[in-house]
């Protein structure tokens, strides 16, 4: 079950919300927590009853380690706990990948263990590792079992994040949060959910056919025209943007309906003027986790210039591998690691030489944005392609290396070429010039860490600032209805891209 499915919208969410509201009236804090736990487990059960047992075993084992660490803050016990979590993750996510590569090295017949990847295993594993580290570091006191279970399994963030820390949500699992400003919470939550549904169904799924057709062609060894390759790459660039942005909005909105604020996980990354800025805006909680629990653990900035750059590369390579068991993901992570290293070196060079001191600010902004987006686009090619050969063919076509005799006619590749071209042109304006959903609703603190800069970006009196008013109600209702109509029309539901990780 996914947020953008009719089953979730009509069969799952209404009874869960009504049950919550009934318990809220009775002011039963424990009952509300257990109700949300039950709903979360049912949400996961819908996908796989077998893997629900794995999830609960993981929760029970990690809670037991938490209790033991409170008694004895042993580094050995912490190491065993982290190693155990990573071993389970590695088995389910990387065992087949490792077997394939070993077979290739030794020239043996490639086999497969046939392991099914449990939904959300990367996310709930990282959350529980952070909890053990915070317990060992004396950043968390004793946590009762029911709040810990809800911390890990809370269904708005269970499947694809954000990766929440214990300090993000556990303190919010209180009656005062559940009963405070319920009407406003439902309005804000419903608004964010509708915006996210529109992004996913109308925008992301609307442009997906172009991206799918072009990448399918190159993955099968076909060569496409230069303009078609660029259009396919740009289509995927916007597909993953609105797919992940839509998911983040929907997760925030659902959680807010229950009075819970989640951390910001997406902040207009295509407005970034550098790769460092991009990673401060894209999958923010993953970037935070990799920085705090991997990069700093490797030595961070304390290892000298070469050590710092090596740590950065290692962190991004592992971050790429986290996204998927495939060499294309490793290359994607390596590219971003290389980009970040060059970003730091270039900034230091410009500061020491005052290069660009006399260049117009507008020129510097445009050049920085264009170079950043080009680097991101090239990396997305490896992220999306199923094979290294497909990614290579895609880049060759984008560079114009294809010969006319080998090019697949655009007409035989995709029938919506003109639509995709108009869509991409319009979306460049949307993602760079318009405020995002968090900025639009910043007046009502849609996330835990709403920053003052967000309010300054759009202003609290702007026409694009959301308010609980009839005009906004009509706009949101029309957007949500358009998404539902499209969902009915397609009669098909696609998962969010990040569900695969």
pLDDT of residue 471 exceeding 80? yes
Pairing of strands 223-224, 407-408: parallel
Q: What is the DSSP string of 148-211?
A: HHHHHH-HHHHTT-----HHHHGGG-SHHHHHTTHHHHHHHHHHHHHHHHHIIIIIIHHHHHHH
pLDDT of residue 413 exceeding 80? no
Q: Rounded mean pLDDT of 436-450?
A: 87
Confidence bin at 145 (pLDDT 50/70/90) = very high
Of 323, 336, 344, 417, the catalytic one is 323
pLDDT of residue 403 exceeding 70? no
**Distance between CA 446 and CA 156 in Å, rounded?**
14
**Distance between CA 315 and CA 336 in Å, rounded?**
10
pLDDT of residue 48 exceeding 70? yes
**Distance between CA 436 and CA 284 in Å, rounded?**
15
pLDDT of residue 490 exceeding 90? no
**Distance between CA 492 and CA 500 in Å, rounded?**
18
Confidence bin at 20 (pLDDT 50/70/90) = very high
pLDDT value, residue 101: 82
pLDDT value, residue 90: 92
% of the chain at pLDDT higher than 70? 93
323: annotated active-site residue: yes
- How many C-beta neighbours within 10 Å does residue 139 have? 13
Q: Rounded mean pLDDT of 329-333?
A: 95
pLDDT tens string 248-280: 999 999 999 999 999 999 999 999 999 999 999
pLDDT value, residue 409: 52
Confidence bin at 431 (pLDDT 50/70/90) = very high
Confidence bin at 457 (pLDDT 50/70/90) = low
pLDDT value, residue 462: 67
pLDDT value, residue 278: 96
Q: Residue 430 corresponds to which tokens in the numbers above?
A: 């949307």
pLDDT tens string 150-207: 999 999 999 888 999 999 999 999 999 999 899 999 999 999 999 999 999 999 999 9
Q: Residue 418 corresponds to which tokens in the numbers above?
A: 């003109």
Average pLDDT, the chain: 89
């Amino acid at each position: 079950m996914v947020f953008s499915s009719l089953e979730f919208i009509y069969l799952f969410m209404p009874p869960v919300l009504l049950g919550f509201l009934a318990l809220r009236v009775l002011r039963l804090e424990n009952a509300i927590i257990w109700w949300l736990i039950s709903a979360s487990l049912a949400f996961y059960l819908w996908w796989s009853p077998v893997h629900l047992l794995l999830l609960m075993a993981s929760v029970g084992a990690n809670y037991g380690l938490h209790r033991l660490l409170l008694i004895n803050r042993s580094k050995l016990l912490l190491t065993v706990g982290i190693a155990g979590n990573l071993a389970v993750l590695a088995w389910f996510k990387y065992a087949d990948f490792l077997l394939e590569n070993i077979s290739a090295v030794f020239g043996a017949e490639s086999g497969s263990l046939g392991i099914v990847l449990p939904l959300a295993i990367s996310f709930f594993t990282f959350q529980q590792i952070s909890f053990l580290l915070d317990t060992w570091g004396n950043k968390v006191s004793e946590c009762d079992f029911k709040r810990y279970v809800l911390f890990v399994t809370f269904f708005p963030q269970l499947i694809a994040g954000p990766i929440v820390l214990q300090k993000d949500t556990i303190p919010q699992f209180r009656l005062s949060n559940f009963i405070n400003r319920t009407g406003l919470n439902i309005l804000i939550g419903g608004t964010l959910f509708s915006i996210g549904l529109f992004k996913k169904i109308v925008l992301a799924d609307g442009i997906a056919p172009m991206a799918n057709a072009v990448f399918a062609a190159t993955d099968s060894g076909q060569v496409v025209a230069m303009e078609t390759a660029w259009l396919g790459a740009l289509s995927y660039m916007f597909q993953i943007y609105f797919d992940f942005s839509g998911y983040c909005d929907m997760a925030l909105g659902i959680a807010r309906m229950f009075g819970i604020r989640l951390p910001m996980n997406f902040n207009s990354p295509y407005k970034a003027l550098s790769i460092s800025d991009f990673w401060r805006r894209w999958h923010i909680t993953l970037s935070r986790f990799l920085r705090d629990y991997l990069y700093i653990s490797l030595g961070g900035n304390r290892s000298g210039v070469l050590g710092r750059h090596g740590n950065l590369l290692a962190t991004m390579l592992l971050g790429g591998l986290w996204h998927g068991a495939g060499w294309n993901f490793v290359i994607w992570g390596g590219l971003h690691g290389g980009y970040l290293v060059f970003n730091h070196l270039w900034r230091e060079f410009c500061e020491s030489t005052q290069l660009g001191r006399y260049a117009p600010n507008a020129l510097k902004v445009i050049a920085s944005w264009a170079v950043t987006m080009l680097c991101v686009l090239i990396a997305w090619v490896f992220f999306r392609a199923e094979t290294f050969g497909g990614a290579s063919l895609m880049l060759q076509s984008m560079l114009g290396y294809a010969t006319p005799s080998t090019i697949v006619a655009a007409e035989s590749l995709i029938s919506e070429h003109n639509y995709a071209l108009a869509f991409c042109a319009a979306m460049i304006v949307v993602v760079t010039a318009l405020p995002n959903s968090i900025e639009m609703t910043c007046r009502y603190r849609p996330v835990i860490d709403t920053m003052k800069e967000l309010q300054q970006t759009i202003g609290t009196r702007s026409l694009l600032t959301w308010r609980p008013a009839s005009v906004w109600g009509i706009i949101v209702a029309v957007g949500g209805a358009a998404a539902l109509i499209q969902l009915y029309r397609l009669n098909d539901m696609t998962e969010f891209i990040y569900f695969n990780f």
